[in-house]
């Protein structure tokens, strides 16, 4: 598989995921929506592995990888599904734009990837400035909106932590196996959460909610995670998170066109600061002048 093609696929899937998450919870509750999505994704993934005779490695490093990936899926998705009740889908994607910075900090700690330099610190400050602008939009108006934004930030941290941890383990496990193993860990946890805190199955699902769950279960959970873990094995962890450099703009546009979400000036300003920070964070070092000092060549004797 082409790495650029897989990279583009993840961008397209992640751009549509926040809106599909909101639609999947209509009339059913967010716990039912996420549990149904993950169980559908796990069953489809296992079915594909059986039909294609793809192995599910069970050595120690592989099991460790499945556990970390599954806990990351459970934690990150639980937070973002809960938050989707209170904030627009486009804003979810904008806040997820902070993923490269969080991933870069964690990668510098665990993977010894270079994450701190004047340009990268400037990018982080711009991102934090964008975050402050967005939080200022609702700080004095809606406590639930602020709580929703905090929930998305928690999801960002959990997703980044899981990605870097999987990268650190470095198990030689195919992307499909990482996805299948991770979903097999996460799906029972979502079922238990739904039974404990909700436990009510909807009498009937709205067509849009049903289609959204199908899309998230088949494309968002299986195809998206397979492409993500495929790219994760072949690129630096801090570069993979650049996917979120593009998805906020696409998600904002989709939320406005398909869901009637208002495009407020403060959200666009905050998004612009975050995206500018990401650009500086990633490419700023290349633009800074470098002093090239040549050592004097000793005279020949």
Low-confidence ranges of the chain (pLDDT < 50): 291-301
Contacts of 182 (CB under 8 A, 6+ apart): 65, 66, 69, 70, 72, 73, 225
pTM equals: 0.81
Q: Give the C-alpha separation, 17 to 71, whole Å.
A: 19
pLDDT of the residue at 292: 40
pLDDT of the residue at 298: 42
Burial of 204 (0-12, 13-18, 19+ CB in 10 A): exposed
Per residue in 38-85, pLDDT (tens digit) is 999 999 989 988 998 988 999 999 999 999 999 999 999 999 999 999
pLDDT of the residue at 296: 45
Closest CA to 127 of 156, 168, 155, 147: 156
Residue owning tokens 């199955």: 201
pLDDT of the residue at 67: 97
The answer to whether residues 85 and 151 touch, using CB atoms and an 8 Å cutoff, is: no
Q: Give the C-alpha separation, 241 to 149, whole Å.
A: 19
**Which alpha helices (H) appear in the chain, and where do they start and end?**
3-24, 30-51, 60-83, 89-96, 99-110, 118-138, 143-169, 175-197, 207-215, 224-232, 237-240, 247-259, 265-287
Which one-letter DSSP state was computed for residue 117?
Answer: S
User: Is the Cα torsion angle 93, 97, 102, 108 positive or negative in sign?
Assistant: positive
The answer to whether residues 127 and 260 touch, using CB atoms and an 8 Å cutoff, is: no
Burial of 10 (0-12, 13-18, 19+ CB in 10 A): buried
pLDDT of the residue at 284: 66
pLDDT of the residue at 300: 35
Contacts of 99 (CB under 8 A, 6+ apart): 156, 159, 160, 241, 244
pLDDT of the residue at 212: 93
Structure tokens at 57: 């490695």
Q: Give the C-alpha separation, 270 to 132, whole Å.
A: 8
Distance of CA 141 to the CA centre of its chain: 28
């Amino acid at each position: 598989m082409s790495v650029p093609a897989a990279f583009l696929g993840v961008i397209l899937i992640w751009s549509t995921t926040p809106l599909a998450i909101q639609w999947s919870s209509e009339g059913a509750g967010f716990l039912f929506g996420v549990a149904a999505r993950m169980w559908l994704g796990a069953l489809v993934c296992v079915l594909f592995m059986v039909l294609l005779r793809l192995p599910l490695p069970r050595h120690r490093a592989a099991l460790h990888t499945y556990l970390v990936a599954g806990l990351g899926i459970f934690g990150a998705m639980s937070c973002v599904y809960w938050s989707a009740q209170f904030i627009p889908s486009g804003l979810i994607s904008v806040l997820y734009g902070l993923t490269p910075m969080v991933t870069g900090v964690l990668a510098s700690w665990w993977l010894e990837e270079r994450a701190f330099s004047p340009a990268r610190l400037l990018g982080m400050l711009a991102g934090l400035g964008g975050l402050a602008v967005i939080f200022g939009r609702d700080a004095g108006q809606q406590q639930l909106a602020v709580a929703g934004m905090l929930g998305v930030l928690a999801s960002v941290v959990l997703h980044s932590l899981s990605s870097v941890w999987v990268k650190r383990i470095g198990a030689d496990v195919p992307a499909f196996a990482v996805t299948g193993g991770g979903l097999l860990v996460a799906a029972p946890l979502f079922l238990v959460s739904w039974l404990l805190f909700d436990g009510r199955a909807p009498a009937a699902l709205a067509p849009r909610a049903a289609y959204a769950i199908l899309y998230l279960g088949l494309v968002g959970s299986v195809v998206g995670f397979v492409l993500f873990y495929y790219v994760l094995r072949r690129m630096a962890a801090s570069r993979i998170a650049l996917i979120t450099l593009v998805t906020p703009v696409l998600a904002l546009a989709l939320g406005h066109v398909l869901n009637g979400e208002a495009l407020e000036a403060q959200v666009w300003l905050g998004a612009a600061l975050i995206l500018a920070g990401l650009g500086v964070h990633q490419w700023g070092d290349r633009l800074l002048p470098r002093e090239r000092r040549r050592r004097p060549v000793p005279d020949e004797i």
